[in-house]
Structure 1
Amino acid sequence: MRISSSQYFNLNVSSMSDQQSTLATMYQQISSGNRLSTASDDPLGAAQAVTLTMQSATLSQYSTNQTSALSSLQQEDSTLGNVSNVLSSIQTQVVHAGDASLTDADRQSIATVIQGHRDQLMSMANTTDSNGNYIFTGLKGNTAPFSNNASGVGASYDGDLGSRTVQISNNRSVAIGDTGASVFQSVSASESAAVPSASTGNTGKGTIGAVSMNDTSNPNNASTYTINFAVSATDDSTTYTVSANPADPSLPTTLTAYTADTKITLGGQSVKISGAPANGDSFTVQPATSTNNDVFATLDNLISALKQPVGTSTSAQSQLTNALATAGTKLGNSYNNVLAAQTAVGGRTQEIQSQQTILSTNKTQNASDLANLTSIDLVSSISSYELTQNSLQAAQMAFSQIQKMSLFSYLGS
């Protein structure tokens, strides 16, 4: 096959032009460190790079969400820890108030201390985060969750029951806050004791103690029990009857003779009543979840009871003892509820920290995959660049020498 001089020159010029273009591309890659300047450099790789870039942005957002959620949960955990400390201090004061040697003035002082703790709890219940949002108000971040009732007893919850959640991974969202109603106005069904109380109309010297749990599986523990006393006008003998709502078929249907400090069985529970109840006095044992569990109301009633003068009246002392028994049980239930909430917050915190570890690994792998697609190996690229450059220079020299090959050059020599 014959190749004309023009074809030969055109082929060589085209080849060197291609090599120069390759060198220019390689130089651009070396100077930028990026293998994919345009999608045409590697269409498949470019598509994969777009996917990885989008995934990187998603992972970065999850990282931001995790950091924000962790900060919110840590603040709530700290606040709940402070709440539990205050409740523990109040319980200590309740035990102290039960000392029969205290005077009315002493109990007034205790009431003042508890009032200070009550104010602390209200402030903690209305805690805000760094953005000024209330942490216990549900989805109503700009609304203070609690305000004191006009009656002077208890607090009104002005938030809602919604739960703020944050997505921390592709298929997992976590709650970053608990409602004030669930923390300050609720109790844990499994970690709470039945609440003993005396009727406000009692006139005798009977006092009710804490409720003992004997059989947690007894279905009648869900009933509210009322113990009614009667004192015979003829011989001063005291008897009682027990009713339950819902009904408890195991209860005796006849009058039972009263003996102080003897356990009275109520379903799977028992309670002791001491002293001498008067005719018509009654006492109640209720499941913790069925009573008013507003911790602020509990404290207001406790403070009011402590401010009542007792003096030397044994009846007034009995009323105070009953009020302390009721308040002590309710505060213990509230304390356990706060601890349960704090435990749940700790569990969510650990979950986020675990997701942070997983996310860090995913981000590293994603960055590595993206770098493999888009970045160059500098040493290899420079070596290839020099090899191509040498090849081009050799081609140029060879073409220059061939250009001099002419019959006239030989004849001239």
Structure 2
Amino acid sequence: MRIATSQIYSSSLSTMENQQAQLLQVQQQVSTGISLSNPADNPLGAAQAVQLSATSAALTQYASNQNTALSSLQLEDSTLSSVTTTLQAISQQIQSAINGSLNDSDRQALAQQLQGERSQLFTLANTTDGQGNYLFSGFQSTSQVFTNTPGGGVQYNGDAGQRLIQVGGSRQIAVSDTGASVFLSVSSVGSQAVAAGSPANTGTGTISGVTVTDPTQATNGHPLTIQFGADPTSGALTYSVLDDSTSPATALTTTPQPYTAGSPIDLGSGMNVTISGTPASTDTFSVTPATTQQNSSVFSTIDSVIAALQTPVNGSPSASANLTNALQGGLTAIGNSISNVVTIQASVGGREQEVKALQTVTSTNSLQVTSNLSDLTSTDMTAAITQYTQLSNALTASQKSFAATQNLSLFQYINP
């Protein structure tokens, strides 16, 4: 078959251009260290690289979210530790006031100390993070959590929302707790019913804390009243136990029981209390669930204790008994609040540990994805340099072959 000179030129030129293009491509891979810069180079590899890049970006975002979550949880953990320390200090001060050795001036000074502790607790409840967001306000992160009301007490300005952060593909974790759950409520489980005397009592009766006599039956779910009276015949002091959860109240004692100072009074729910001293025939005492609003608000409890300490006793036995009852009830309520805060702090600590475990998993996965992506897109220098040498030699051979082919013409043998 006859081959035209133009065909030889065209074929040789095409071959050298292809070799030159391949050589430049390999040279670029060597210089950049990237073997997959164009999807056309390896369509399947490019698709895998896109998927791995998306996974890497997601893991990077999860790692950032985990850092944010851990920072928030650590701040809450630290704040709750300070809250617990403050409440324990308040509890110790109340205990020191119950011993009866303080006079009115001492109690006034102690009330001032408790007022300072309350202010510190109020500040902790309004803790903010580094960006000015309130820690315990729920979704209302820019609203001050608590404000003091003109008539005393506090107002909660947050909501019941619990902020969540996505820390994994299918895991969101709560990074905050509401001020209502920390400072205005206590758990019904593990909390003790609050026993207290009426401020209007005129006798010298003082009530003890609640004692559980039957753990399988014990409950603090119903408000109870111990109402004193006098036997119509003998005039002896008697008492009745009433369940105030019904209207009218239901008597738990079939008949008024004779009162003996220091003897246990059965509350009919796996619990009993002891009343000492001599109550008046019109005096009443209450045993209320820990979860009632008055008992569960730590600020209300502290305010009640401060008010009791500021009330002069002036050597009055009945006033002294009322003070003891108020302090004893406040001490129980503060103890319930401490248990509640410790329980929430334990939950926060568990979430911290979970985030730390997720950080380890995410870091490992990120390294693996990065390694896989590098293996897919990075240049194998040994193979690339070898290929570059081969292509360079082939191009040189093609160029020499083309130069030699140009001399294969009959016109060279025609003498001038």
Same fold (TM over 0.5): yes
> Residue 143 of structure 2 contacts residue 157 of structure 2 at CA under 8 Å; is this kept in 1?
yes
Q: Distance in 2 between matches of 1:329 and 1:291?
A: 14
Q: Map 1:9-20 to 2 at 5 A.
A: 9-20=9-20
Could you say what secondary structure the match of 1:210 adopts? coil
Corresponding residue for 1:195?
A: 194
Instruction: Give the aligned partner of residue 253 of structure 2.
Output: 252
Q: Is the 8 A contact 1:135 1:141 kept in 2?
A: yes
CA contact under 8 A between 1:137 and 1:144: conserved in structure 2? yes
Give CA deviations for 1:53-96 in whole Å, capped at 9, x if unaligned: 22222222212111111111111111110000000001100110
* Kept in 2: contact 1:231–1:278 (CA 8 A): no
**For residues 360-384 of structure 1, what are the alpha-carbon distances to aligned partners after superposition, in whole Å with 9 as ceiling and x for unaligned?**
1121122122222222112221121
Greater mean alpha carbon deviation, residues 93-102 or residues 283-292: 283-292
Matches within 5 A, 1:184-223: 184-218=183-217, 221-223=220-222
Counterparts of 2:265 and 2:314, CA distance in 1: 31
- SS, match of residue 272 in structure 1: strand
Contact kept in structure 1, 2:195 and 2:209, CA below 8 Å: yes
Task: Give the corresponding residue for 2:69.
Answer: 69
> 1:137 matched to which residue of 2?
137
Matches of 1:338 and 1:191, distance apart in 2: 12
Aligned length, in residue pairs: 411
Residues 292-318 of structure 1: CA deviation (Å, up to 9, x unaligned): 211111111101101111132111110
2:311 maps to 308
1:382 to 377, 382, 385: 385
Task: Quote the offset at 1:347 in angstroms.
Answer: 1.1
TM norm structure 2? 0.93
- 1:208-357 to structure 2, matched below 5 A, reads 208-218=207-217, 221-232=220-231, 235-246=234-245, 251-266=252-267, 267-292=269-294, 293-357=296-360
In structure 2, the residue matched to 1:80 is: 80
Give the secondary-structure state (helix, strand or coil) at the position aligned to 1:134: coil
1:24 & 1:101 partners in 2: Cα distance? 96
**Deviating more after overlay: 214-223 vs 318-327:** 214-223
Give the letter aligned to residue 23 of structure 1. L
Q: Give the alignment's Cα RMSD to 1 decimal.
A: 2.1
Match of 2:171 in 1: 172
Q: Does 1:95 pair with 2:98?
A: no
- Asked whether the 8 Å contact 2:240–2:251 carries over to 1, the reply is no
In 2: Cα distance, 1:408 partner to 1:301 partner: 122
Contact 1:132 1:142 in 2 (8 A): yes
Q: Tell me how far 1:218 sits from its aligned partner.
A: 1.9
Is the deviation greater in 81-90 or in 221-230?
221-230
The amino acid across from 1:345 in the alignment is: V
Could you tell me the TM-score, scaled by structure 1's length? 0.94
The CA distance in 2 between the partners of 1:232 and 1:215, in whole Å, is: 30
Provide the secondary structure at the position in 2 that maps to 1:187.
Answer: coil
Contact 1:155 1:294 in 2 (8 A): no
Q: Distance in 1 between matches of 2:62 and 2:371?
A: 19
8 Å CA contact retained: 1:221, 1:268: no
SS of residue paired to 1:312: coil
Which residue of the partner structure matches residue 106 of structure 2?
106
Return the alpha-carbon distance in structure 2 between the equivalents of residues 401 and 55 of structure 1: 55
- The 3-state SS of whatever aligns with 2:351 is helix
Deviates more, 1:264-273 or 1:33-42: 33-42
| Cα pair 2:239 2:259 within 8 Å, conserved | yes
CA distance in 2, matches of 1:62, 1:370: 19
| Residue among 352, 363, 366 paired with 2:366 | 363
Encode CA deviations 1:103-153: one digit per residue, 9 max, x unaligned. Answer: 11111111111111000000111111111111111111111011112212x
Task: Give the Cα–Cα distance (whole angstroms) in 2 for the partners of residues 221 and 281 of structure 1.
Answer: 22
Deviates more, 1:38-47 or 1:301-310: 38-47
- Indicate if the aligned counterparts of 2:185 and 2:293 stay in contact, CA closer than 8 A: no
SS in 2 for 1:288: coil
1:156-178 per-position Cα deviation (integer Å, ceiling 9, x unaligned): 11111111111111111111111
SS in structure 1 at match of 2:196: strand
Unaligned runs of 5+ in 1: none
